[in-house]
A and B are shown apart, each in its own frame.
Chain A
Amino acid sequence: MNLNIVTRDPEETQKLGKRISKLVVPGDLFAFYGELGAGKTCFIQGVCQGLGVRDYVTSPSFTIINEYKGRVPVYHFDLFRLNSLEEFLDLGYEEYFYGEGLTVIEWAEKVESLLPFGHLKISIEFFNYSQRIIYFATSSDRYKVFLKELIQSENIRD
């Protein structure tokens, strides 16, 4: 199942993230794709805001994982600097992927083969300087329901 949404500025992207956060339950996993500057961190900031995270949601490129406290805990991965699966395996990632929080991963393509079956793919593309096309895709039932709810919630064009 697929869904595309165009956002016109960073605030809209964050709002979308915020809206999605309402549907989040512990154990969820969102995999993000898109080049540098696409707005992955921006989207995740919206999700975290919606989950009541107080901490600054910054780019975890340096520490690879940031953890935030919110309505559910958030595990924020940024795999920008990672170059092979091997390197990822020892980060103790299982505890996050299969844990009790929301896992969000920037540059998820780098660990594609380790992603659990049930996850939501969110891919962000430049349309122009301030517009972004955000693609959602999933093959798991949990997130099909999720996307349907998202469509029904206010203001979203399919």
Chain B
Amino acid sequence: MKILGIDSSTRICSLGLIEEHNILTEYNINSYYQKTSSILVPAIKTMLEGVNLTLAEIDGIAVAIGPGSFTGLRIGLGVAKGLCYATTSLPLWGISTLDALAYSLRGVPSLICPLLLSTREEIFSAVFRGGEDSLEKIIDYDCSDMDTLLAKISFLKEKIIFIGEGLKKYQKAIQERLNQEALFIDSPLAFPRGVNIAFLGLEKLQKGEKEDIHTLSPLYLRKSQAEMVREKKTTEI
């Protein structure tokens, strides 16, 4: 089974093509050099050509549905829907970017908290319990400030791994606030990769799941209005 994974929710546009448990090819490009809106379809074309495959030889497409940049997500979803519509038999799966990020730590028996940090101090998060061969979501996707997130996590009282690019600057604040042991992975590799999206798509395929391409939409997550107002006040003092 060959699956194409697409993520365009962050400034890195990431594509991956897998076959069962192997990566066939991977493509990442920073939108600073090529805007995602221009590069996405040509990149898919180039990537497929690189491994001598055509769309018709693929068994499905997995696409990121967020949380992340709304415009980015809509580009990815638009392209994925178009590809699946044109290739009638091609199934489509929507994958959360936070699941994809946590997937990097698959097999690690610990609590895992993937974080996606946006420019406006918005933090997208979720908490998973990692098992030998599973990732179970125990706190749902949210968009909040760090305080709100830590308040929820501090109840768990178990060792937890935070993963996300750019989370270094929160490390001290997190450590001071939590009573449990916390590990931090802040690496340039900690973004929702296309291959991870593809692997999660494969799981859905094996479970026999499939989205309706007519209705699949992004996860539109954002901070509550109350939080935005609160934050504004603290910066003005």
Contacts and interface: CB of A to CB of B under 8 A. Distances in A.
Contacts of A95: 119
B236 interface: yes
Contacts of A92: 69, 71
Contacts, number: 21
A113 B228 contact: yes
A85 B232 CA distance: 13
Contacts of A98: 119
A114 B227 CA distance: 12
A117 interface: yes
Given A117-B235, A117-B236, A94 B228 contact: no
Contacts of B232: 113-114
B71 A94 contact: no
A113 B232 CA distance: 6
A89 B67 CA distance: 14
Contacts of A85: 225, 228
A54 to B, nearest CB: 24
Contacts of A90: 69-71
Interface residues of A, number: 11
Interface string B30-72: 0000000000000000000000000000000000000001110
B177 interface: no
A90 to B, nearest CB: 4
Contacts of B236: 117
Interface in A85-133: 85-86, 89-90, 92, 94-95, 98, 113-114, 117
B222 interface: yes
Interface string B198-220: 00000000000000000000000
Interface of B: 69-71, 119-120, 222, 225, 228-229, 232, 235-236
6 contacts: A85-B225, A85-B228, A86-B222, A86-B225, A89-B222, A113-B232
Given A95-B119, A117-B235, 12 more contacts: A86-B225, A89-B222, A90-B69, A90-B71, A92-B69, A94-B119, A94-B120, A113-B228, A113-B229, A113-B232, A114-B228, A117-B236
The 8 A-B residue pairs whose C-beta atoms are closest, nearest first, are A90-B70, A94-B119, A113-B232, A94-B120, A117-B236, A113-B229, A117-B235, A89-B222
